[in-house]
C-alpha cells in the first residue's frame, strides 16, 4: 500500500503525469481556517466551500514548464480562496538557473 504522504511517491507520480501532458485541476478549499483554528483541536461550526477550477494543461516540457504549471495552479487556488499564498515557491527565473 502506498502512503500519500511519501514525498518520493508524490514526486514520481507528478513527474509521470507531467511527462504525459496530463492537465492539473486546481481545487480550492475555503473556510477551513475559521473552522479549525491554529492551536485548537476541536472544530467550530462554519461553512466550507470547495471550488473545482478548469484544468490547466502543461505548456512545454522540462523543469521550467513544470514550475510554470505549478505556479499557475497555486495562483488559481489562491485567487479563489481570497487569501495570500504564504509559500509561493520557486519562480520561472529561478528554475532556469
Q: Which residues span the domain enclosing 72?
A: 26-84
Q: SS3 for 38?
A: coil
Question: pTM of the predicted model, to two decimals?
Answer: 0.67
Of 74, 69, 77, nearest to 95 by C-alpha is: 69
| Domain contains 9 | no
Cell numbers for 5: 504522504
What is the count of structural domains for the chain?
A: 1
| Domain contains 2 | no
| Domain contains 72 | yes
How would you write the pLDDT of the chain (97 residues) with one tens digit per residue? 333 444 565 667 777 777 888 888 989 988 888 888 888 888 899 999 999 999 999 888 887 888 888 888 888 888 888 777 776 665 555 555 4
| Domain contains 3 | no
Cell numbers for 85: 499564498
| Domain contains 6 | no
| Domain contains 51 | yes
| Domain contains 1 | no
| DSSP structure class, residue 56 | B
| DSSP structure class, residue 75 | H
| Domain contains 59 | yes
Secondary element (H or E) of residue 17: helix 7-19
Beta bridge partners of 29: 50
Amino acid at each position: 500500500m502506498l502512503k500519500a504522504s511519501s514525498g518520493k511517491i508524490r514526486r514520481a507520480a507528478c513527474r509521470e503525469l507531467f511527462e504525459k501532458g496530463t492537465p492539473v485541476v486546481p481545487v480550492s478549499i475555503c473556510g477551513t481556517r475559521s473552522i479549525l483554528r491554529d492551536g485548537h483541536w476541536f472544530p467550530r461550526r462554519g461553512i466550507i466551500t470547495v471550488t473545482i477550477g478548469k484544468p490547466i494543461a502543461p505548456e512545454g516540457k522540462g523543469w521550467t514548464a513544470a514550475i510554470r504549471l505549478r505556479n499557475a495552479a497555486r495562483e488559481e487556488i489562491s485567487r479563489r480562496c481570497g487569501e495570500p499564498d504564504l509559500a509561493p515557491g520557486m519562480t520561472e527565473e529561478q528554475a532556469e538557473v
